[in-house]
Structure formats: C-alpha cells, structure tokens
A and B are shown apart, each in its own frame.
Chain A
Amino acid sequence: MYYRVLQIKYFKPRTLEEAIELLTKVRNSRVLAGGTDLLVDLKTGRVSAEALVDVGAIRELRGIEDLGDRIRIGAATKLQELVESDVIARELPLLRKAVESMGSWQIRNLATVGGNLCNASPAADTAPPLLAYEAELIIVGPRGTRVVPVTKFFTSYRRVALEEGEILKEIVVRKSTWSGWSYIKLGRRSGFTLSIVSVAVLASTRGEVLEDVRIALGSVAPTPIRAYKAEEYLRGREVGLGVLERAAEIAKEEVSPIDDVRASAWYRREMVYRLTLDALKTSLRWS
C-alpha cells in the first residue's frame, strides 16, 4: 500500500560528535533511532525529511547502568532491553510495567526509549513513568551538554525542548524510595495497543498520611502531563476514600483531551477520574 522506496539520504555515524555535525550541516536531516514511528511517518508522508542520521551504531547511546544513587539509560536503548533488564525491574518498576505494554515484541526490539520521548506523541507510554520519576534528560549538541528535566521537555503538541543539531543522549533517574506505585494503561484491546488513557502513580506514606505523591497522565492533553494540582491536594493528607475521590476529580479537571479515532474527550475525562482513583488505591494498597 505504501510501497515505494523512500527518497532519502542515509548516514550512520559512529560517534556523537559526528552525528551532531551531520544534523547541523545536512539540510532537513532527522535522527533515526528505532524507526518504528519515523519510518511509518515518512512512508505515509506525514513527515518529510531529506536525510536520516541513524544513531544505532553510537555505543555511548546504549545501555542501562546502575550508578549507585541513580540509573542511567542510554537514549537509543531498545524497549525490549528495558523489559529484560534486572536493574529496571528492581529500581524502576513503574517504567518496566509501562514499557512491557508497548507495541509488540517485534516493535520493542526496534523501538528506543529516547525515540519514544523525542517523537513526543501525547500517547508516548514511556513518558508518564519518567515524568513521575522526574527523570533528567542529558542533551548534547553543537554548543555542548545540557540537562533538561523531563517535566520541561514536552513543550507543546509533538514539540520537545531540542534545538537544532541536538540529540537526546541519556535519561538519568535518581533513586528514590516510594512505598507504592501503580501503572494503568487503557487501550481498545489488552495487548499491542495505543493508549486511550494511561496513568502512572508513585506514592509514599507514613502511617495513614500521604507524604508524597506523583501522578502522571498520558493521551489526555497535547503532551503527557503531571496532575500537579491533584498531587498538591493529596500531599500531607490522611488517606480516605473521600480524599482519593476528590484528588481524582481534580486530576479530571487538569486534563484537556480531544476526540479522536480511539475515544471521545468525554470518555477520556471519565477514565482519568476512574483510573486515577484506581491507581491511587493500588499504590496505597487501599481498598
């Protein structure tokens, strides 16, 4: 159906410096990471580019490392590597749960975590967990290295805080202890599906009091978002059904979903309420 050879130039740099130079010098060039979004967009004509800079051969962009106080994930690490990583299972269970639900095995073997973030779909499933963990993104470019918190990375619909020639190098998550977590993804079917709504929650309690909580939502706004007002309402409160319901109500007010092929805005809002409530209950082991 889409069969045609893409009219495009292809570069496969071995180092980050080379990749940055290519992105700066070659007109209308784009980073090719896993290609599971970009190649579909190029085939269908939704995106146009004159050159692809394949970052798949750049070693420093790969791998998962436990650095003691933090976890480092190379941006070009495959999603399946995250699913199979002991470090991710142990330290970032919320991320693991989300990545496990992404695409199919064949897709996860190609797709990368950095590609998912930079493609900046509102439905990017790695985003809610990383927003909840408050990951830091290490970005390199022609003017050196800078750190951008993932909470500031998504600037508007399908836009991210990357300047020309810049590449997302790695994702760093500081270790922190949470007493509970929950990830819920609602799709049109249970496997290999895009999310209609996804919710990621991290919670920390002392006795009956919710000391800290983070709520991140996917597919319900132009970008993946945090439900800061709901979090603020919950912080320091004693856990009770009324309190959790109120927080879910607030989260529902914070989203701005649209009608699309997968669901209506109305349904998404209702599901934000329901799933936020369920995710809070699960993370607090409260029933």
Chain B
Amino acid sequence: MRVSFRLNGSWVSVDVEPGEILLDTLRLRLGIRSVKRGCERGECGVCTVLLNGEPVVSCLLLTAQVDSMEVTTVEGLGSDPLFKDLAEEFARRFSIQCGYCTPAILLTTYAYIRKVYEGKRKASVEEIVKAIEGNLCRCGTYPRVVRAVVNTLSRLTTAP
C-alpha cells in the first residue's frame, strides 16, 4: 500500500506492506539510520521519532498509521538552532558514551525543551528525569544528559 507522510520537512511517498513497522520503513526503505533497532517492543526507546512533534517509539507503529502525519528524526534538525545548542551541550558535557541511544535521547530532550517553552512542562531536574524515563542508556550517561538539558535551558534566553 502507498503511504505518504512528511519526513524531516519533505513529503515522502512509499510503497509498504500493510503490516510494516515504521522503524523498518525508516531504516530499510528511507535510509534513516539514526533511528535504532533495540528491543522492538517499546521498552528501550532507541527507535524514538517525533510524530507531529511528540516523541513516540517507531517500533510500535505501523507505517500505515502515520499516513499524512509529520515524522522528525535528528537528520531533519541539523539546522534547528535549539537542536544545535542541545547537541553542542551533549558534546561539551560528555553526555554520550557509546552513542547508540543518543539520537533518541536528543529527540526526547529536544521535544521536552520545546514543551517547556510552550508552557506545557516545567523546567526542573525532576521533569527532565520523567521525560527521559523511556530512553534506556546502558552506558549510564543519565546524569550528564540531565546536565546538558539543564544547561541548554538556562542558556536560552529567548524562546526557540
């Protein structure tokens, strides 16, 4: 079946199996390699994408379900000023070790910071921890991730 959706700002149209999972469409058909394969049952969060701006796991979504929606991965955020600041903070604070979970954690924390600016979430360490609950990092970089988000939030004086 034919499915069309916005991927990182451009419309894409792909032929997929009706039972095809978005994670597979992104990695195998569309060459989006930042979206990682992990547990494939919604536990680890390495396959996180933003669906209409909200973080979701792409392993529990049929591609057919996202027809006409907007899917964002880190590939689409390279020129976004907020995303750049956040990614730089991650590098500066060594918030990355092996890097496998990093694209997903960047997407989740980026979405969280946007929510803070929209007034929908509070800026606090507790809230950051709650936001990244669904992103497993086997290297245990969580404290450095939290630090990077705190720093990004405090460095930004104007809304993204």
Contacts and interface: CB of A to CB of B under 8 A. Distances in A.
Does A associate with B in a complex? yes
Interface of A: 1-3, 5-10, 12, 32, 35-36, 39-40, 43-44, 52, 54, 56, 80, 84, 103-107, 109-110, 191-192
12 contacts: A5-B21, A10-B19, A36-B60, A39-B62, A44-B41, A52-B62, A56-B65, A104-B45, A105-B108, A106-B56, A109-B54, A191-B129
Q: What 8 pairs between A and B have smallest CB-CB spacing?
A: A104-B134, A6-B19, A10-B18, A8-B19, A106-B134, A191-B133, A109-B54, A192-B133
Contact of B60 (A54, A56, A110): A110
Contacts of A84: 120
B1 A3 contact: no
Contact of B56 (A39, A43, A44, A110): A110
A106 B48 contact: yes
Contacts of A44: 41
Given A8-B18, A10-B64, A110-B61, A2 B133 contact: no
Given A106-B108, A109-B55, A54 B65 contact: yes
Given A80-B54, A104-B134, A3 B62 contact: no
A12 B64 contact: yes
A104 B40 contact: no
Contacts, number: 93
Interface of B: 1, 17-21, 24, 37, 39-42, 45, 48, 51, 54-57, 60-62, 64-65, 67, 108, 120, 129-131, 133-135
Given A5-B24, A107-B57, A40 B65 contact: no
B129 to A, nearest CB: 8
A33 to B, nearest CB: 11
Contacts of A10: 1, 18-19, 62, 64
Contacts of B39: 1
